[in-house]
Chain A
Amino acid sequence: MKRLMIPLMLMITTVGMAQVPSGEAILEKVDENQIARNRKIIYEMLIHGRRGSRTLKAQSWIEGADRSFTEYLEPPRESGTKMLKLQEQLWTYSPSTDRIIKISGHMLRQSVMGSDLSYEDMMEDRHLLRLYEAEVVGEETFMERPCWVLKLTAKETDVAYHSRDIWVDKERYLALKENRYAKSGKLLKTTEVKSVIKEGDRWVGERVVFKDELKSGDGTEFLIESVTYDIDIPEYIFSKAALRK
């Protein structure tokens, strides 16, 4: 009996191990689900501040991490404000002044319209697998979905967040929850997906709450109205001429 027990235990362990994919494999699937050639997205941002909440509505055309064009639709005060990002350069157009202003690339690190997101956070479209080493540290249920818990540690030095914990839906490979940490290990930002939608064969967080954990407040809700992937974006969208149109 004893002779049978050892191979049996080894077999169970091996089968168990085989069911836990490697961190890299999970991250690759997360990237596959997330990264597209380009996307057009219409969204609302509900910014909860100390003095109340306000809602912004915008549409963005995003191509990789280098090119994006955003037009604010609501509220009327912000309506018509446009932003163009080409690599590290950013231009804004305000209809009230009818002027295009070039903003330093460092502005990308500033908060978007007083929200908990920076332009950098919003336009993040880099392959996580290229930036981080991933390790599966556990399994948890989040939003009633079984998830892999991954610990990501930066491979490169020019990454905004040195480490991250992400909760990846085991079936949909969508990161449902994320904690972003400073080099010192201090928790800086959290992201929680509250509802999801399926667009083609991709799963997307429909309502996501971003929160700057060092700041008081309830964070910023990001609500996707529609998203389309791999579309034909006319070239003029990513030009300065589009800002005045």
Chain B
Amino acid sequence: MLVPRLAMRNLLGAGLRTWLNVVVLSIAYVTIIWTQGFNIGMYQQISRSQIDAEYGGGQYWNENYDPYDPFALQEAHGVIPSTLQKWVRDRKATPLLITQGTIYPNGRIRTILLKGIDPEQKVLTIPSHFLTGESAMVPALIGNRMAKSTGLRIGDSVTLRWRDRDGTFDARDVEIVQIMRTSVQSIDNNQIWIPLETLQGMTQMEGEATLVVIDQQIGLKEKIEGWSFQSQDVLLKDIRDMMKARTISRGILYVILLFLAMLAIFNTQILSIFRRRKEMGTLMALGLTRAKLILLFTLEGAMHGLLAAIISAVYGIPLLTYFTFKGWPLPQSMDQYGIAIGDKLFPEYSAALIVGTTAVILLVTTVVSYLPSRRIAKLKPTDALRGKMT
């Protein structure tokens, strides 16, 4: 216990130099955990929003459906298979019919995706129940972005033109019955939601769907001919890839932060070894072995990490807790990135993140402290007492 006690006493005795190092290291430490927490929170938030509003527990796609090819929608529909129909009846799945249409808000032409959804469905968080109302016109639901870009408001009517399954034009007026506020742009931008049966009738696609969204509770997903199952994992792949790219770019920032903090510790250690030669000679003359001397100096350096962890906890825990509950307000421009993130970002900190980051920082600090201390192994006590380095 002599060495650790001595190391701690020396460290605290160094005064301002130690605290400067500790503060720099603690800033790096809190920044890493903080930004990592935002990264994890962002992924969780986007995934949850997408799953709740769009992906559910996975989707069965008609074999011709390609979400990246709106022109293929004309052929991307089929009669809902019996297995899926059973789930639909049990409210464990909801079919969606998607087709292309054109609206004319204020006399301007705009190509949209026309989506049919069961007003009674509970699988997705889309407020489809607004589509149940009686109206001479087709009731329609749009998102807040679509409302903003078209200038449409609740109660407004707009002419909708579409083609039926044979390619014949038809047109009717639709009434905007509700504007949903959603962070998920892929259910909002350039889209109009109307009752499924109405759309099936309008397009002469009775009993047909483009895709069927499965409830998150359904575990076993069967293979169905003519329909391909897209799991949550597959549907979230783009988001995961995006987060992976973000993690790599953030990783570079962490390395720079750690490098700066380690540079300070490394520098301190070299200075310490140079200035404390006589002290080292005295300790060796008093019987301290070279290995224990190396341990003493390594511990002194490594304890910077420990102190930094304690300091970080003092101001980091309240700071991080505050943002966990209050969230980080995001600028309006974030909405243009096309990710379902909402107005605020709520970070998430896991035990693995905190323990992992602490372990990495302590390990790196120890290694950086040890490297300059290796010179002590070559030190002769007589030279050291005279203030010489061998």
Please list the residues of chain A having a beta carbon within 8 angstroms of any beta carbon in chain B: 50, 104-107, 109, 111, 154, 157-162, 180, 182-184, 186, 188, 212, 214-217
Asked whether A182 lies within 8 Å of B166 as measured between CB atoms, the reply is no
Asked whether B74 lies within 8 Å of A106 as measured between CB atoms, the reply is yes
- With beta carbons under 8 angstroms apart, the residue of B71, B171, B172 that contacts A106 is B71
Chain A residue numbers with a CB within 8 Å of B107 are: 214-217
- With beta carbons under 8 angstroms apart, the residue of B104, B108, B168 that contacts A154 is B168
Asked whether B169 lies within 8 Å of A162 as measured between CB atoms, the reply is yes
Nearest B residue (CB) for A105: B71
CA distance A154 to B164 in the complex (A): 14
Known: A215-B104, A215-B107, A216-B108. A157 touches B166 (CB 8 A): yes
CA distance A158 to B168 in the complex (A): 6
Q: What's the interface size class on B, roughly?
A: 20 to 34
Most buried by A among B102, B107, B171: B171
Chain B residue numbers with a CB within 8 Å of A184 are: 170-172
Known: A182-B161, A188-B161, A215-B104. A160 touches B168 (CB 8 A): yes
Known: A214-B161, A216-B107. A183 touches B71 (CB 8 A): no
Q: Is the interface of A mostly helix, strand, loop or mixed?
A: loop
22 contacts between A and B (CB under 8 A): A104-B72, A105-B71, A106-B71, A109-B167, A159-B166, A159-B167, A161-B169, A162-B169, A162-B170, A182-B161, A182-B169, A182-B171, A183-B168, A183-B169, A184-B170, A184-B171, A188-B161, A188-B169, A212-B109, A214-B107, A215-B104, A215-B107
Q: Is the interface of B mostly helix, strand, loop or mixed?
A: mixed
Chain B residue numbers with a CB within 8 Å of A111 are: 109
Q: Is B163 an interface residue (CB 8 A)?
A: yes
- With beta carbons under 8 angstroms apart, the residue of A105, A107, A180, A182 that contacts B170 is A182
Asked whether B168 lies within 8 Å of A186 as measured between CB atoms, the reply is no
Q: Is B10 an interface residue (CB 8 A)?
A: no
CA distance A233 to B163 in the complex (A): 34
Nearest B residue (CB) for A107: B71
Nearest B residue (CB) for A157: B166
Nearest A residue (CB) for B102: A214
Chain B residue numbers with a CB within 8 Å of A107 are: 71
- With beta carbons under 8 angstroms apart, the residue of B69, B102, B109, B168 that contacts A157 is B168
- With beta carbons under 8 angstroms apart, the residue of B72, B163, B164, B171 that contacts A109 is B163
Known: A160-B168, A183-B169. A214 touches B72 (CB 8 A): no
Q: Is B159 an interface residue (CB 8 A)?
A: yes
Q: Which of B54-80 contact A (CB under 8 A)?
A: 69, 71-72, 74
Asked whether B172 lies within 8 Å of A186 as measured between CB atoms, the reply is yes
Chain A residue numbers with a CB within 8 Å of B171 are: 182, 184, 186, 188, 214
Give min CB distance, A154 to chain B, whole Å.
7
CA distance A158 to B165 in the complex (A): 8
Give min CB distance, B145 to chain A, whole Å.
22
Chain B 124-144, CB-CB to A under 8 Å as 1, else 0, gives 000000000000000000000
Asked whether B74 lies within 8 Å of A183 as measured between CB atoms, the reply is no
Chain B residue numbers with a CB within 8 Å of A158 are: 166-168
Nearest A residue (CB) for B204: A157
Give min CB distance, B103 to chain A, whole Å.
9
Q: A158-B168, A214-B104 are in contact. List 19 more A-B contacts (CB 8 A).
A: A104-B69, A104-B72, A106-B71, A106-B72, A107-B71, A157-B166, A157-B168, A158-B167, A160-B169, A161-B168, A162-B168, A162-B170, A180-B169, A182-B161, A182-B171, A183-B170, A184-B172, A186-B170, A215-B109
CA distance A217 to B109 in the complex (A): 11
CA distance A161 to B163 in the complex (A): 10
Give min CB distance, B345 to chain A, whole Å.
39
Nearest A residue (CB) for B161: A214
Chain B residue numbers with a CB within 8 Å of A212 are: 109
Nearest A residue (CB) for B173: A186
Chain A residue numbers with a CB within 8 Å of B163 are: 109, 160
Nearest A residue (CB) for B164: A183
CA distance A48 to B164 in the complex (A): 29
Chain B residue numbers with a CB within 8 Å of A180 are: 169
CA distance A162 to B69 in the complex (A): 27
Nearest A residue (CB) for B100: A106
CA distance A217 to B166 in the complex (A): 29
Asked whether A215 lies within 8 Å of B108 as measured between CB atoms, the reply is yes
Nearest A residue (CB) for B110: A215
CA distance A194 to B312 in the complex (A): 81
Give min CB distance, A120 to chain B, whole Å.
9
Top 6 A-B residue pairs of the complex, sorted by shortest distance between their CB atoms: A216-B107, A106-B71, A182-B171, A104-B71, A186-B171, A183-B170
Chain A residue numbers with a CB within 8 Å of B166 are: 157-159
CA distance A162 to B74 in the complex (A): 18
Most buried by B among A50, A106, A158: A106
Chain B residue numbers with a CB within 8 Å of A157 are: 166, 168
Give min CB distance, A9 to chain B, whole Å.
44
CA distance A158 to B167 in the complex (A): 6
CA distance A214 to B104 in the complex (A): 6
Q: Which of B152-168 contact A (CB under 8 A)?
A: 159, 161, 163-164, 166-168
Asked whether A50 lies within 8 Å of B172 as measured between CB atoms, the reply is no
